[in-house]
């Protein structure tokens, strides 16, 4: 069990529709986690993000849903909420329990079938799989929310490459930070350790990744990009954090995007990072944030490296 589900009280699963080129991934904490979010992209599709702000009164988060389907994919989070309610999971409001479910969606309508998106039924199914299935690492690449992910679209869709879902965990003593990322960026994915390109806009030779200079030139030319991008992520930690501290960790975690994606946080990305903190281990906030950055960097790179060529897009493994 090498994924985020190795953290006590955390469950995760994906539902994949390979034919349609879409899917969804859920991270569930039935007992509730301290939640936070950082949204830096200019075109997000999301649910229950305002509720996670430090000044709001609800201080628990039961699930995060990462989904394809653009804004249509938000339906999956309704299914997750309904399945959690059936299991008695949620905030006690006197007449029942209301699960707090946050979600972010990415645009994958250009892959597979554009009229097939994750549904309420898919959300209920993925929540049940997470809670009832084996607690194991998520399948990376063309799975779940990563099924229809692509990267490197600043030179046009015909030069983009396939990416997908990534998961990575980092440890420092008892402190654990894990990250799940669906990598669907406008920019290129690079290895933060070496700066070497992993996947992105193909150069004219069709065998290498275009340079940062090409990206800047495309920006200068006011390339007509579609709102077809977004890297959406969830960082899970066993640290004990307040909502304000979890928000700071989310803000720090967003640095992983800047380290591993070029360019990032553009007006045509909906970049979003959720945090779930289970409260098992005392740790300095800065240490949690630093470890979270490393975990999210690893998840982003893995999402690009483990993708398979599909839907007419070449993957890094086939260059």
pLDDT at 142 over 60: yes
**More confident of the two residues 243 and 1:** 243
pLDDT at 19 over 60: yes
pLDDT band for position 269 (50/70/90)?
confident
Task: Tell me the residue ranges of DSSP E strands in the chain.
Answer: 11-17, 22-39, 45-47, 61-67, 91-92, 97-98, 101-105, 150-151, 161-162, 165-172, 175-182, 188-190, 197-199, 232-239, 261-262, 272-281
Please give the Cα distance from 310 to 299 (Å, whole number).
20
Query: 160-219: per-residue pLDDT in tens?
Result: 999 999 999 999 999 999 999 999 998 899 999 999 999 988 887 777 887 767 666 665
Full-model pTM: 0.94
Residue among 230, 117, 221, 225 at smallest CA distance from 181: 230
Query: 34-84: per-residue pLDDT in tens?
Result: 999 999 867 778 889 889 999 998 889 999 999 999 999 999 999 999 999
Query: 208-254: per-residue pLDDT in tens?
Result: 887 767 666 665 555 555 556 789 999 999 999 999 999 999 999 99
């Amino acid at each position: 069990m090498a994924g985020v589900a190795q953290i006590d009280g955390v469950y995760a699963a994906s539902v994949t529709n390979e034919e349609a080129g879409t899917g969804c991934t859920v991270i569930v904490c039935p007992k509730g986690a301290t939640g936070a979010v950082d949204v830096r992209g200019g075109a997000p599709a999301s649910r229950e993000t305002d509720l996670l702000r430090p000044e709001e009164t609800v201080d628990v988060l039961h699930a995060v849903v990462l989904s394809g389907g653009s804004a249509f994919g938000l339906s999956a989070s309704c299914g997750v909420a309904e399945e959690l309610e059936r299991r008695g999971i949620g905030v006690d409001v006197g007449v029942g329990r209301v699960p707090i479910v946050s979600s972010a969606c990415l645009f994958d309508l250009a892959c597979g079938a554009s009229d097939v998106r994750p549904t309420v039924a898919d959300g209920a199914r993925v929540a049940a799989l997470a809670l009832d299935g084996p607690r194991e690492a998520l399948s990376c690449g063309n799975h779940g929310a990563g099924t229809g992910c692509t990267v490197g679209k600043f030179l046009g869709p015909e030069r983009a490459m396939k990416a997908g879902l990534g998961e990575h965990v980092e440890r420092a003593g008892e402190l654990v930070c894990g990250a799940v990322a669906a990598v669907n960026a406008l920019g290129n994915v690079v290895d933060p350790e070496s700066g070497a390109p992993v996947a992105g806009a193909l150069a004219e030779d069709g065998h290498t990744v275009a340079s940062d200079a090409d990206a800047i030139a495309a920006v200068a030319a006011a390339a007509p990009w579609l709102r077809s991008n977004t890297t959406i992520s969830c960082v899970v930690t066993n640290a004990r954090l307040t909502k304000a501290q979890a928000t700071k960790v989310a803000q720090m975690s967003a640095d992983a995007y800047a380290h591993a994606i070029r360019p990032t946080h553009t007006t045509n990305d909906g970049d979003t990072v959720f945090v779930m903190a289970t409260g098992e281990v005392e740790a300095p906030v800065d240490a949690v944030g630093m470890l979270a950055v490393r975990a999210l960097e690893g998840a982003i790179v893995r999402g690009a490296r483990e993708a398979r060529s599909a839907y007419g897009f070449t993957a890094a493994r086939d260059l």
